[in-house]
Amino acid sequence: MDELIGRQWLANQEDITTISTCEKVPAIQADRCQRCGSQLLAYLPSRKRYCRSCLGIGRVSEDQVLVRNLATAVFPKNPAPLTWQGKLTKHQTKISQALVNNYHAGKTTLVHAVTGAGKTEMLFPLLAACLADGKRAAVAAPRIDVINELYPRLAEAFAQIKVGCYHGKREAEPGCEQLTLLTTHQLLKFYRAFDLLIIDEVDSFPYAGDPMLHFGAKNAVKTAGVTVYLTATPTSDLLAEINQGKVAKLTLKRRFHGQKLPVPREKLFLRPYLNHGRLNPQLAEHISRAIKAGHPLLLFVPKITEIPAYLAAIKADPQFAQLKLAGVHAADPERLSKVEAFRRGELEILVTTTILERGVTFKHVWVIILAADDRIYSASSLVQIAGRVGRASDDPTGLVLFCYHRYTHNIRQAMQEIQEMNQ
Amino acid sequence: MRVCLLCGNCFLPPVDLVRLFSFQAFHEAVLCPHCQKLFQPLGPIRCPACGRSQQTAQLCRDCQRWEQIYDGDLLVNCSLYHYDQAMHDLMVQYKRYGDYQLAQVLASFLPPLPNWLLVPIPTSPEHQAKRGFDTIEAIFGNYALKPLLTKIPGQGAQGMRSRQERLEAEQGFVLADVNYPIYNRSISKILLLDDIYTTGRTLYHARDCLRRAFPSAKIKSFTICR
Ligand SMILES: [Zn+2]
Ligand SMILES: [Zn+2]
Ligand SMILES: [Zn+2]
């Protein structure tokens, strides 16, 4: 049963598991789901209640118990678990050293780092400090793509350490690995498991604003464990905890190449972006400038349903008749191949929804956000989208254009954040 | 104020005068206007047999197949909504994850049903035991249902099979208790009830099964989505 150490799972009340290190608690207690903390309960025909919030990982109902394996996992001490040979920049080293110190001091920490700062490498010394001690660590993120991208990098950086990877689209038997990568949803399956828990992209959907995932994260870490949050735009709940002194804050204002963030240009449009299927001339002018300068262009639109109209309007404009373009959205079966084609330079323009707002890097890309005033763009989305530009050290600048009809609070907040980080 | 069963937001139920003064079964609004709009009713031009919405009012390809297999004796089906992404997500949440409360959402989609003998398509006893409810009976719970069919145990869920596997599936139903008093010759109209019409295989099997007990009855079907 060692593979279940630090985990919690559902069982019937009659369950006769007799592992001495396991405790059993009623799955629903005091009108609250004990796995996710939610009070969104509903009745089954049997008059037993079930939890509607965490259904996706198996339904919790009143006639069940949560079995929690509270044993402590023991791993051998290992003076040099980090096999990565790379070097950190001066700025990265400073943050990374502070993270190690805060870990030893038992301090929960938020790292506020600009997009393109090279966060992952900064975490290596921190993870090494934890693993060297024979302790257990986890890296969680809200989105599966991020976990899939991190997994090979961490497995390579810590070649002698057993690394586990868990998310909803991956079949994996539960194991007790010293280093675990998982989505924030999967954290609900752990209880007092980790000495160190790092949560990446805390500003991103679905973690941001979901109390269930916050509850799961708090439960997954040991009582004396340490949590580290990473973000490019701190959420208000974390800022409040920083102000109360519960969380320490570290800020990294420079990208790994040492340059500032490109500051978005704001452009008020009085007329619609599309009029009877034709591009607004001012919009066409901006697109044309990007193309003439030889930059691939990401065009963000708020809704999937608008993509075909924009594609048609660009194609209908004689000056763009020769261009190769495509549209992409979350449910698009050709999503990966289109993104790859754009990356290889086979497409000049990619019209996209917010799915490409983070986690992707395209060399020399410029970005135009249409309807930056749409409700779909949070301040953190806008900062992330702007962060796609200027990531290479040989081309650290570029165009980010926020097009709007109505100046919104989110646009203002995104602009302020970028300017603050650039000071 | 009500709380939307899908998004959890509060909303004011719309006052619907047509409904207020009609004799239709009155459903309390359980979805906010935004969530209600996620679900697309089927268009006006449909396949005359299965009710699929399409460009022309001719028999669709599935039904042309059934026409051959059943020698022209097509099952006439009526559906209300497109089985699109939104409906698929709702069904996954309801059936796979067992969110029983969503039966109220699906029930709110129902029109008044005719005064026929209403026979629900049964779910497998294994799944019913695991979920703690019968997915079809929970949706149509406001009607007097006659559960005349039972599922032969041991067959997997439809949702787990490919389209081809579904079409080739064996008859999965048997008649429930044959001494049921309802088995009299006066029954002339039967309406089969299901959630989704995918290939029609399930509903045709159910009809085959009922035909043996009611050789002269007219049998049609109703599903929420197509
Ligand atoms: Zn729950
Ligand atoms: Zn709603
Ligand atoms: Zn048809």
Of all ligands present, the nearest one to the C-alpha of B65 is: 3
A259 vs A117: CA distance, rounded Å: 10
Residue A220: phi and psi, rounded to 5, are: -75, -25
- Contact indicator for A5, A176 with CB cutoff of 8 Å: yes
CB atoms within 10 A of CB B67: 14
The predicted pLDDT at position B24 comes to 45
Low-confidence residues in chain B, pLDDT < 70? 15-27, 154-161, 163-168, 177-185
Query: B184: helix, coil or strand?
Result: coil
Q: For residue B55, report the distance from its CA to the centre of ligand 3, in Å.
A: 12
> Closest residue of A to B100, CA-based?
A44
Which residues of chain A lie closer than 8 angstroms to B100, CB-CB?
Answer: 42-45, 50
Confidence at A343, pLDDT banded by 50, 70, 90? very high
Domain boundaries along the sequence of chain B: 1-37, 41-225
B108 vs A228: CA distance, rounded Å: 46
Query: B213: helix, coil or strand?
Result: helix
B226 vs A279: CA distance, rounded Å: 38
The predicted pLDDT at position B25 comes to 47
Of all ligands present, the nearest one to the C-alpha of B75 is: 3
B103: its two tokens: 């039966």
Domains and CATH numbers, chain A: 2-69 (no CATH), 90-252 (3.40.50.300), 265-417 (3.40.50.300)
| More confident of the two residues B155 and A148 | A148
Site from B5, B37, B99, B128 to mutate, A interface, most A CB atoms within 10 angstroms:
B99
Q: How many residues does chain B have?
A: 226
- Average pLDDT, whole number, for chain A? 94
A150 vs A142: CA distance, rounded Å: 13
A332 vs A212: CA distance, rounded Å: 29
Confidence at A201, pLDDT banded by 50, 70, 90? very high
- Contact indicator for B93, B99 with CB cutoff of 8 Å: yes
- Contact indicator for A126, A293 with CB cutoff of 8 Å: no
Q: From B180, B123, B184, select the one nearest B148 (Cα to Cα).
A: B180
B143: its two tokens: 């009607």
DSSP, residue by residue, A297-333: EEEE-S-GGGHHHHHHHHHHSGGGTT--EEEE-TT-T
The predicted pLDDT at position B183 comes to 58
A/B interface, count of CB pairs below 8 Å? 28
A169: its two tokens: 């689209």
A76 vs A91: CA distance, rounded Å: 32
Percent of chain A having pLDDT more than 70? Answer: 99
Residue B50: phi and psi, rounded to 5, are: -90, -15
Asked if A55 lies within 8 A of B93 by C-beta distance, the reply is: yes
- DSSP single-letter state for residue A56: G
The predicted pLDDT at position B159 comes to 59
Of all ligands present, the nearest one to the C-alpha of B2 is: 2
A342 vs A297: CA distance, rounded Å: 9
Residues within 5 Å of ion ligand 1, judged at the Cβ atom: A 33, 35-36, 38, 51, 53-54, 60
A408 vs A74: CA distance, rounded Å: 52
The predicted pLDDT at position B170 comes to 75
The predicted pLDDT at position B23 comes to 46
pLDDT in tens, A94-107: 999 999 999 999 99
The predicted pLDDT at position B1 comes to 81
The predicted pLDDT at position A372 comes to 97
Kindly report the nearest CA distance between residue A210 and chain B, in angstroms: 13
The predicted pLDDT at position B184 comes to 61
- Asked if A46 has any chain B CB less than 8 Å from its own CB, the reply is yes
Q: Which residue has the tokens 């989609």?
A: B109
pLDDT (mean) for A327-355: 92
Of A45, A48, A55, the CB nearest to B99: A55
Q: From A210, A201, A250, A251, select the one nearest A358 (Cα to Cα).
A: A201
Q: Which residue has the tokens 């009155």?
A: B26
Q: What is the ipTM of this complex?
A: 0.86
The predicted pLDDT at position B136 comes to 96
pLDDT (mean) for A146-153: 91
Confidence at A312, pLDDT banded by 50, 70, 90? very high
Distances in Å between the Cα of A157 and the Cα atoms of A64, A153, B107 are 41, 6, 54
A182: its two tokens: 């998982």
Of A46, A52, A61, the CB nearest to B101: A52
Which residues of chain A lie closer than 8 angstroms to B99, CB-CB?
Answer: 42, 52, 55, 59
Q: Of A10-19, A202-211, A371-380, B185-194, which gets the smallest average pLDDT?
A: A10-19
pLDDT in tens, A223-249: 999 999 999 988 888 999 999 999 999
- Taking only Cα atoms into account, the Rg of chain B, rounded to an integer number of angstroms, comes to 18
Query: B198: helix, coil or strand?
Result: coil
